[in-house]
Amino acid sequence: MSAPTPLLMLGLPKGSLEESTKTLFAKAGWKITTSSRSYRPSIDDSELDGRFVRAQEVSRYVEHGFFDCGLTGYDWVQENESDVVEVCDLIYSRASTLKSRWVLCVPEASDVQKPEDLAGKRVATELMGTVKRYFAERGIDAKVEFSWGATEVKVPDLVDAIVDITETGSSLRANNLRIVDTLLETNTKLIANKASWANPAKRKKIETIAMLLQGALQADNKVGLKMNLERSRVDAVQAILPAMRGLTVAPLTVADWCAVETVIPESDARELIPKLIELGAEGIVEYPLNKIVH
Ligand SMILES: Nc1ncnc2c1ncn2[C@@H]1O[C@H](COP(=O)(O)OP(=O)(O)OP(=O)(O)O)[C@@H](O)[C@H]1O
Ligand SMILES: O=P(O)(O)OC[C@H]1O[C@H](OP(=O)(O)OP(=O)(O)O)[C@H](O)[C@@H]1O
Ligand SMILES: [Mg+2]
Q: Are 162 and 124 in contact (CB under 8 A)?
A: yes
Q: How far is ligand 1, taken at its centre, from the CA of residue 17, in Å?
A: 7
The pLDDT assigned to 202 comes to 98
Please say whether the beta carbons of 28 and 216 come within 8 A: yes
Give the CB-side neighbour count of residue 203, counting CA atoms within 13 A.
8
- Tell me, yes or no, whether 91 and 153 share the same domain: no
- How many CA within 13 A on the CB side of residue 265? 4
- Alpha helices of 111-191 — where are they, by DSSP H? 128-137, 170-174
Interface pTM, i.e. ipTM: 0.94
Contacts of 48 by beta carbon, 8 Å cutoff, 6+ apart: 6, 7, 8, 10, 30, 205
Ligand 2 mean position, distance from CA 121 (Å): 23
Residues 210, 262, single domain; the answer is no
Secondary structure E strands in the chain: 8-14, 32-33, 42-43, 48-54, 69-73, 85-90, 100-107, 122-125, 143-146, 161-166, 177-186, 188-192, 222-230, 248-251, 257-265, 282-288
Q: How far apart are CA 108 and CA 224, in angstroms?
A: 45
Ligand nearest to the CA of 173: 2
Q: Are residues 34 and 91 in the same domain?
A: yes
Last residue of a domain, one of 162, 185, 208: 185
Q: What is the pLDDT along the chain (294 residues), one digit of tens a residue?
A: 566 789 999 999 998 899 999 999 999 999 999 887 777 899 999 999 999 999 999 999 999 999 999 999 999 999 999 999 999 999 988 877 789 999 999 999 999 999 999 999 999 999 999 999 999 999 999 999 999 999 999 999 999 999 999 999 999 999 999 999 999 999 999 999 999 999 999 999 999 999 999 999 999 889 999 999 999 999 999 889 876 667 889 999 989 999 999 999 999 999 999 999 999 999 999 999 999 998
118 with 246, same domain? no
One domain, residues 86 and 131: no
DSSP string, 71-101: EEEHHHHHHTT---EEEEEE---SSSSS-EE
**Ligand of minimum distance to the alpha carbon of 162:** 2
Tell whether 146 and 197 lie within a shared domain: no
Is any atom of ligand 1 closer than 6 Å to the C-beta of 94? yes
C-alpha 169/C-alpha 176 separation (Å) is 11
Instruction: Classify residue 3: in a domain, yes or no.
Output: no
Which ligand 2 atom is nearest residue 94's CA? 3
- What is the rounded distance in angstroms from the CA atom of residue 222 to the CA atom of residue 213? 15
What CATH number does the domain containing 68 carry? 3.40.190.10
The verdict on 119 and 175 lying in the same domain is yes
What per-residue confidence (pLDDT) applies to 245? 66
- Residue 16, classified by CB atoms within 10 Å of its CB into exposed (0-12), middle (13-18) or buried (19+), is middle
- Measure the CA–CA gap between 10 and 18, rounded to whole angstroms: 13
67 and 107 assigned to the same domain = no
Q: Which amino acid is at 265?
A: P
Mark which of 171, 197, 218 sits at the end of a domain: 218
Residue 158 CA to ligand 1 centre (angstroms) = 23
Residue nearest to atom 13 of ligand 2 (CA): 16
The pLDDT value given to residue 3: 66
The pLDDT value recorded for residue 244 is 63
Which residues are within 8 A (CB) of 293 and not within 5 positions of it... i.e. 6 or more apart?
Answer: 211, 212, 214, 215, 218
Closest ligand to the CA of 16 = 1
- Residue 101 CA, ligand 1 centroid: distance in Å: 11
Same domain, 90 and 108: no
Considering the domain architecture, whether residues 42 and 65 belong to the same structural domain is answered as yes
Closest by Cα among 285, 236, 294, 235 to 264: 285
Alpha carbon of 79 to ligand 2 centroid (Å):
18
Number of domains in the chain: 3
Residue-range definition of the domain harbouring residue 42 = 8-96+188-218
- Residue 106, strand partner residues: 178
